[in-house]
Amino acid sequence: MRYFDQPAHVLHDMLKQKEISAVELTQDVLKRIDEVEGSVGAYLTLTKEAALEQAGKVDEKLAKGEEIPFLAGIPGAIKDNICTKGIKTTCASKILEHFIPPYDATVMTKLKAESPVLLGKTNLDEFAMGGSTENSAYHVTRNPWNTDDVPGGSSGGSAAAVAAGTAIWALGSDTGGSIRQPASFCGVVGLKPTYGRVSRYGLVAYASSLDQIGPLTRDVADAAHLLNVISGHDDMDATSSATVVPDFTASLREDVKGLKIGLPKEYFTKGMDPEVERAVRAAIETYRSLGAEVIEISLPHTEYAISTYYLIAPAEAATNLQRYDGVSYGERVEGSDLVEMMTNTRTEKFGEEVKRRIMIGNYALSAGYYDAYYLKALKVRTLIQQDYTEAFSRVDVIMCPTAPTTAYPIGSMISDPLQMYLQDICTVPLNLAGLPGISIPCGRSSQGMPIGLQIIGKALDEETILRAAYTYEQSQDYHKEMAPLGGKH
Ligand code: GLN
């Protein structure tokens, strides 16, 4: 039997029943990594020895008859923009090539309390800026469903690892879709929690008013379990919510009778792949047949979401990335004086896309243009938030595609940044409004590529989106199919 294709909740039960040991499970996933990582490239750093040691400790606890927490002994991976004490955290940038954080992000502290097995750090677009993982300064990551295609991004490494069975679960971060869109492209589940639900302490900042950490998993139950582990108030993050965290696994019920689903007409836009639209509409029909009520709604400011996001995110990024100056942070490139040293450092060590965003951000924030761009964007952000408030007075959840297309060939879009930005139409509005969203597999294209359904919830109401996601998942088998990657076991 192979274990790498099982969700964490199944493996947890097997560990408790002593049907497998944590070391056996870890060896199985490490073997899978040996077999397929060469053709996927999900990882930037692998910590195989430490992983086996961690597994050994869990087996000792099991041998003593101790109770084990949910994640104990289950191998997972962490996006490389989340600080891991003593383990390199590069953000897929040359400027942090040798950066070893002296502390753990709060999510890492929470995870470690569960004794998971940590396999390594996953690839991303440099500083999480991008939607294909092609902006990594190190290597491309390939989609396990078709290795000529991108895995999506920026959490492409985390999504590809879960899809390839080279991690059972993973953490990603989502500023404008970076958990949900790669989940959609790789046929896994990706959950962006409400802004403030999960502490951002130790997540290397891209755009601080939008960033959130969340899980990428094989199924909805695992997403609920992971969210239980990482959620909660943190004194180290002033924006983290003090609201009591429910037990999200209580939402894993098949129950959508009377659930009011809003279908925003603006999200079914021109340029959407007809196969994506068909699959998403079929999923909505499934909900209807299960007793949900489908209501057409309007989110009238959606058309401004991309421009609003691509002003606010770069403006915050330009500010956050000031610290990489060769003094406070960053690999220094020498120069004849301080200014030249800083110029050389930033010129040589930042990639193209990062520099583009720093320039856009500084332009939008500069004295002559602040009112016209940044301030205007903040006002439109409020209008987008109000659209949702109005819609959620009539419906319980909103559904739409996660992305307008399925995964596309590596290299096909990278030279056209604007085209790339437009791909984010379905995901960025949620971040602007701070709302939770989940992407779950809801079909395959004629090429066999995964299609994702996005379910958007009210602020701090992850429970309803989890319940809706779980109910749909029980009605089909997409989450049980493994990406058709090589590597016979
Ligand atoms: N694709 C979006 C961007 O490039 C979203 C990235 C993210 O969520 N980190 O900014």
Task: Enumerate the H helices of 70-177 as residue ranges.
Answer: 106-112, 156-164
Check 21, 132, 155, 178 and give the catalytic one: 178
CA distances from 349 to 126, 315, 326 (A): 11, 20, 10
d(CA 476, CA 60) in angstroms, rounded, equals 38
What letter does residue 169 receive in the DSSP assignment? E
154 is catalytic: yes
Measured in Å, residue 207 CA sits from the centre of ligand 1 at: 9
Beta carbons of 70 and 247 less than 8 angstroms apart: no
Is ligand 1 within 6 A of the CB of residue 59? no
The DSSP bridge partners found for residue 294 are 261
> What pLDDT, on the 0 to 100 scale, is given for residue 488?
34
112 is catalytic: no
Q: Which two tokens stand for residue 222?
A: 């695992």
CB atoms closer than 10 angstroms to residue 99: 17
Please check whether residue 367 lies inside any domain of the structure: no
d(CA 216, CA 438) in angstroms, rounded, equals 10
Please check whether residue 360 lies inside any domain of the structure: no
3-state secondary structure of 218: coil
Is ligand 1 within 6 A of the CB of residue 154? yes
Q: Which two tokens stand for residue 92?
A: 């897929």
Tokens 């609201």 locate to 243
Please check whether residue 1 lies inside any domain of the structure: no
pLDDT in tens, the chain (489 residues): 799 999 999 999 999 999 999 999 999 999 999 999 999 999 999 999 999 999 999 999 999 999 999 999 999 999 999 999 999 999 999 999 999 999 999 999 999 999 999 999 999 999 999 999 999 999 999 999 999 999 999 999 999 999 999 999 999 999 999 999 999 999 999 999 999 999 999 999 999 999 999 999 999 999 999 999 999 999 999 999 999 999 999 999 999 999 999 999 998 877 899 999 999 999 999 999 999 999 999 999 999 999 999 999 999 999 999 999 999 999 999 999 999 999 999 999 999 999 999 999 999 999 999 999 999 999 999 999 999 999 999 999 999 999 999 999 999 999 999 999 999 999 999 999 999 999 999 999 999 999 999 999 999 999 999 999 999 999 999 999 999 984 333
Q: Which ligand 1 atom sits closest to the C-alpha of 131?
A: 1
Please check whether residue 120 lies inside any domain of the structure: yes
Is ligand 1 within 6 A of the CB of residue 126? no
d(CA 374, CA 311) in angstroms, rounded, equals 6
Residue to mutate, 124, 126, 154, 200, ligand 1, most ligand atoms under 8 Å from C-beta: 154
CA distances from 35 to 19, 74, 84, 139, 377 (A): 24, 19, 26, 18, 47
Q: What is the number of alpha carbons within 13 Å of residue 381 lying toward its C-beta?
A: 21
Rg of the chain in Å (alpha carbons): 21
> What pLDDT, on the 0 to 100 scale, is given for residue 126?
98
Q: Which ligand 1 atom sits closest to the C-alpha of 353?
A: 4
Structural domain count, the chain: 1
- Ramachandran category for residue 454: left, alpha or beta (phi over 0 → left; psi -120 to 50 → alpha): beta
Q: Which ligand 1 atom sits closest to the C-alpha of 129?
A: 4
Q: Which ligand 1 atom sits closest to the C-alpha of 173?
A: 9
d(CA 357, CA 355) in angstroms, rounded, equals 5
Q: Which two tokens stand for residue 480?
A: 């049980």
Please check whether residue 363 lies inside any domain of the structure: no
Please check whether residue 310 lies inside any domain of the structure: no
Beta carbons of 423 and 404 less than 8 angstroms apart: yes
Residue to mutate, 129, 185, 306, 355, ligand 1, most ligand atoms under 8 Å from C-beta: 129
Identify each DSSP E strand in 238-384 by its residue range. Answer: 260-264, 293-297
CA 179-484-49 angle, 5° bins = 65
CB atoms closer than 10 angstroms to residue 365: 18
Percent of the chain with pLDDT over 90: 97
- CATH code for position 148: 3.90.1300.10
d(CA 14, CA 72) in angstroms, rounded, equals 12
Q: Which two tokens stand for residue 334?
A: 């020498």
Q: Which two tokens stand for residue 385?
A: 């938030």
CA distances from 188 to 97, 129, 238, 327, 423 (A): 29, 21, 31, 40, 19
The DSSP bridge partners found for residue 169 are 76, 217
Tell me which residue range forms the domain holding 133.
8-266+280-297+389-480
Measured in Å, residue 89 CA sits from the centre of ligand 1 at: 19
pTM of the predicted structure, to 2 decimals: 0.97
Q: What residues contact 322, with CB distance under 8 A and at least 6 apart? A: none
Please check whether residue 345 lies inside any domain of the structure: no
Is ligand 1 within 6 A of the CB of residue 206? yes
Please check whether residue 80 lies inside any domain of the structure: yes
Is ligand 1 within 6 A of the CB of residue 424? yes
Sign of the alpha-carbon torsion through 11, 12, 14, 18: positive
| Atom 5 of ligand 1, nearest CA residue | 176
> What pLDDT, on the 0 to 100 scale, is given for residue 268?
83
415 is catalytic: no
Instruction: Work out the angle between the directed axes of helices 376-391 and 305-320 (0-180°, nearest 10).
Output: 130
d(CA 223, CA 249) in angstroms, rounded, equals 9
